[in-house]
Amino acid sequence: MLTIRATQKEILARASFERWLVDHARQFFPTECATLGTGGTLDFIREMAQQARRRGLTEGPQICSYVDLAFTFERDFETRPWAAELVAEAAGAWSEFTMDALFEAAMAELDPEASLGVEDEEDFQVVEEDETDEDEYAEAEPEDEEEDEEDEEEDDEDEGEGVNRDEQPLGPGSGDGGPER
């Protein structure tokens, strides 16, 4: 009978997670991975995952977020002005909250318009709810169901006109909305 010890399970799990991180990095950071090469990508991921663990991050998503930030802003991202204060507040005991705050700060750094930009309570606005009577909507006359079904059938027929979906290529560069490579 084969016995797998706890330490062996941990090694297997870590290797599996590293393979997953490499696949993830290749998907989301293809240029950086191509520059580093296969061995360099694995070394970078191992170094950043080890650094994340030294910070107290133990969960896969937290470690992945740390690695993502390192790929995006380079391995010294913790020293960037947008991150330094959060890192100092964590005082070496990072948590999911720390990673969430760092990720939010990173997003604001990448796209300042996309961040919430809420500095204090004065930035919040109270919006009055519309006081329309909900019963007003419930009492509205339902439309004739036969007319609705006919309209839906016509819409379905219109969508397929002049389009042979078998001839349209899918994938990068096909105009399908997917990422260009």
* DSSP annotation string for 68-104: HHHHHH-TTGGGSHHHHHHHHHHTT---HHHHHHHHH
Which pLDDT score is estimated for 67? 96
Burial of 5 (0-12, 13-18, 19+ CB in 10 A): exposed
Which pLDDT score is estimated for 11? 84
Report the alpha-carbon angle 170-172-174, nearest 5.
50
Residue 100 · residue 61 · CB < 8 Å: no
Beta strands of the chain (E only): which ranges? Answer: none
Residue 50 · residue 44 · CB < 8 Å: no
Dihedral sign, CA of 148, 149, 154, 157? positive
Which pLDDT score is estimated for 171? 35
With CA atoms as reference, report the closest residue to 71 among 104, 101, 27.
27
Q: What is the mean pLDDT of each run of 10 residues along the chain (181 residues)?
A: 85 88 96 96 96 89 94 93 88 80 90 58 46 46 53 50 41 39 33
Which pLDDT score is estimated for 122? 47
Alpha carbon 103 to chain centroid distance?
Answer: 10
Which pLDDT score is estimated for 41? 96
Which pLDDT score is estimated for 43? 97
